[in-house]
């Protein structure tokens, strides 16, 4: 019998230790209970007495229990116990009243399937003795506020080598129910801490069912297919998660860029080529002449050089060189002089600056288009001139 008691104690210890931590941190469904039970108590036939023996007995048990966690609890128990007593000198039997008081530690299995318990009892029936007890029990749900208690326990006396056992049936009233709390999610990734294998995921990162990032470099390609998992932030990637090259940084990848060397800052179309706007450009030149002269005095004047460069920049343009004179002199003379002045300027453009003569036309207006009609030296000076204007509609790159 002693061996059976030790085996039961070892089993209780092993069962408790193997699963103690599985639910230890969870809140219990209820925190306290009161219980009232009827007990059948069977004594060991070898239990020593001064005279006679105890046979069996019954009692009424009161208990108060407190659950620390979903798994662990403790209780205080008081039993009003009556044991049958048979004396060897008497043919009949009698009974003795007493009590049994003690404490137990209880371990509830998952989902309260059953519980194991063990503790110390002080029994005072006839003689006082201290007992160690272990057992198994279950709280059966009868209603939300009532449970049925069933227990089987065995007792071992510390001073003597004997074992008793008991069977108990009763009711318990649970109270102090816990308020359910939402599972904790420390990094706010939508995966509770108990399941989160990557507990410090940065904010905004998509995670899988284990709480780990599904796209470590945030390039929009999942880790499972990302062949370049460390792409720098902001880089465009392809379906494999690798950077897409854009050599001229125009927003069109090299594979689709039909104009791969676009200058910076200009707008491009879907093919990577410059988008142009139409723009009108023009230049006007006026060259003054001495009195009764058709000689271009300063053919390398910066304004004349600039005009020639404009003609070269826009080779499709043509120009009409207009010759003019002041009012003094006859109309015929002034007309011939204006033509000579236009022709003289054309020769400078062709001979000195290499402009194709076919692009230049000359015309003389004599004194018919005076800029200043006053009859003084200054008016005559500005009227002795050639003038030429070149216009062109060109395409210029549109800026971003």
Torsion of the alpha carbons at 313, 319, 323 and 324, rounded to the nearest 10: -90
DSSP-derived 3-state class of residue 378: helix
Residue 139 included in any domain: yes
For residue range 68-96, what is the model confidence (pLDDT) as tens digits? 998 999 999 999 998 887 766 555 567 78
Q: Which residues contact 166 (CB under 8 A, 6 or more apart)?
A: 39, 40, 41, 42, 151, 152, 153, 155
206 domain-assigned: no
Kind of pairing, strands 319-324 and 360-364?
parallel
Q: pLDDT per residue over 298-339, tens digit each?
A: 999 999 999 999 989 888 889 999 999 999 989 999 999 999
The secondary structure of 319-342 as a DSSP string is EEEEEE--SSS-HHHHHHHHHHHH
| Residue 136 covered by a domain | yes
pLDDT the model gives residue 243: 67
Over its C-alpha atoms, the chain yields an Rg (Å, rounded) of: 57
| Short-list 388, 371, 394, 363, CA closest to 306 | 388
The closest of 389, 384, 333 to 361, measured between CA atoms, is 389
- Look over the chain and give the mean of its residue pLDDT values, rounded to a whole number: 82
As a whole number of angstroms, the distance between CA 13 and CA 63 comes to 23
**d(C-alpha 386, C-alpha 360), whole Å:** 13
* Burial class of residue 262, CB neighbours in 10 A (0-12, 13-18, 19+): buried
Domain endpoint, select from 177, 196, 222: 177
Q: Is 304 part of any domain?
A: yes
Domain termination residue (choose one: 126, 152, 177): 177
Residue 349 belongs to a domain with what CATH number? 3.30.1330.60
For 89, half-sphere exposure in the C-beta direction (CA atoms, 13 angstrom radius) is: 2
β-sheet bridge partners, residue 79: 61, 100
Coil, helix or strand at residue 249: coil
The verdict on 23 and 155 lying in the same domain is yes
Q: Using CA atoms, how far apart are residues 246 and 260, in angstroms rounded to an integer? A: 8
Indicate whether 208 belongs to any domain. no
> Mind listing the pLDDT tens digit for each residue in 246-302?
777 777 777 677 787 777 777 877 777 877 777 787 889 999 999 989 999 999 999
Q: Which of 55, 61, 97, 54 is nearest to 79 (CA)?
A: 61
Quick check: 15 pLDDT over 70? no
Q: Both 7 and 131 in a single domain? A: yes
Contacts made by residues 350-359, CB under 8 angstroms, sequence distance 24+: 352/299, 352/300, 352/308, 353/305, 353/308, 353/311, 353/312, 354/312, 355/308, 355/311, 355/312, 359/311, 359/317, 359/318, 359/319
Distance of CA 144 to the CA centre of its chain: 43
Domain range for 290 is 278-397
- CA–CA separation, 69 vs 26, rounded Å? 6
What pLDDT shows up at residue 280? 82
pLDDT digits (tens, 9 = 90+) for 35-69: 999 999 988 877 766 566 777 889 999 999 999 99
User: 35 and 164 share a domain?
Assistant: yes
- Once rounded to an integer, what is the mean pLDDT over residues 236-251? 73
- Cα angle value 135/35/125 (rounded, 5°): 65
Q: Output the domain CATH number for residue 165.
A: 2.40.160.20
Q: Are residues 45 and 173 in the same domain?
A: yes
Q: Closest Cα partner for 384 from 293, 285, 299?
A: 293
User: How far is residue 217's CA from residue 202's CA, in Å, rounded to a whole number?
Assistant: 12
Is the residue at 199 inside a domain?
A: no
| Among 140, 161, 177, residue at a domain's last position | 177
Are residues 312 and 173 located together in one domain of the fold? no
Q: Please tell me the pTM assigned to this model.
A: 0.42
Domains in the chain: how many in total?
Answer: 2
Residue 221 lies in a domain: no
Based on the domain organization, do 15 and 164 belong to the same domain? yes
- Going by C-alpha positions, the residue among 41, 78, 42 that lies closest to residue 61 is 78
The answer as to whether 201 is a domain residue is no
């Amino acid at each position: 019998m002693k061996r059976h008691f030790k085996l039961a104690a070892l089993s209780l210890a092993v069962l408790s230790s193997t699963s103690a931590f599985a639910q230890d941190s969870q809140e219990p469904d209820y925190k306290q209970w009161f219980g009232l039970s009827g007990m059948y108590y069977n004594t060991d036939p070898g239990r020593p007495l001064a005279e006679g023996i105890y046979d069996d007995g019954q009692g009424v048990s009161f208990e108060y229990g407190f659950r620390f966690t979903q798994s662990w609890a403790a209780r205080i128990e008081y039993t009003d116990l009556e044991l049958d007593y048979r004396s060897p000198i008497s043919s009949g039997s009698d009974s003795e009243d007493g009590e049994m008081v003690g404490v137990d530690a209880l371990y509830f299995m998952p989902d309260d399937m059953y519980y194991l318990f063990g503790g110390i009892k002080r029994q005072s029936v006839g003689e006082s003795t201290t007992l160690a007890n272990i057992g198994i029990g279950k709280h059966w749900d009868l209603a939300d506020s009532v449970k049925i208690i069933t227990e089987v326990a065995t007792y071992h006396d510390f001073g003597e080598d004997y074992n008793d056992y008991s069977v108990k049936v009763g009711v318990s009233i649970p109270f102090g129910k816990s308020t359910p709390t939402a599972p904790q999610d420390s990094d706010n990734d939508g995966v509770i801490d108990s399941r989160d294998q990557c507990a410090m995921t940065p904010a905004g990162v998509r995670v899988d069912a284990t709480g780990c990032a599904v796209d470590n470099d945030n390039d929009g390609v999942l880790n499972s297919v990302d062949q370049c998992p460390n792409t720098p932030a902001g880089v465009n990637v392809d379906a494999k998660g690798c950077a897409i090259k854009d050599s001229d940084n125009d927003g069109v990848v090299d594979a689709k860029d039909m104009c791969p060397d676009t200058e910076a800052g200009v707008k491009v179309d879907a093919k990577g080529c410059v988008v142009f706007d139409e723009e009108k450009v023009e230049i006007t030149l006026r060259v003054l002449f001495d009195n009764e002269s058709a000689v271009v005095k300063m053919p390398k004047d910066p304004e004349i050089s600039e005009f020639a460069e404009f003609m070269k920049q826009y080779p499709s343009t043509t120009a009409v060189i207009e010759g003019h004179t002041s009012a003094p002199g006859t109309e015929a003379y002034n007309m011939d002089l204006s033509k000579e002045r236009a022709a003289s300027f054309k020769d400078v453009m062709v001979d000195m600056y290499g402009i194709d003569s076919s692009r230049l036309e000359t015309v003389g207006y004599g004194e018919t288009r005076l800029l200043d009609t006053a009859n003084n030296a200054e008016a005559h000076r500005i009227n002795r001139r050639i003038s030429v204007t070149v216009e062109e509609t060109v395409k210029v790159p549109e800026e971003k």
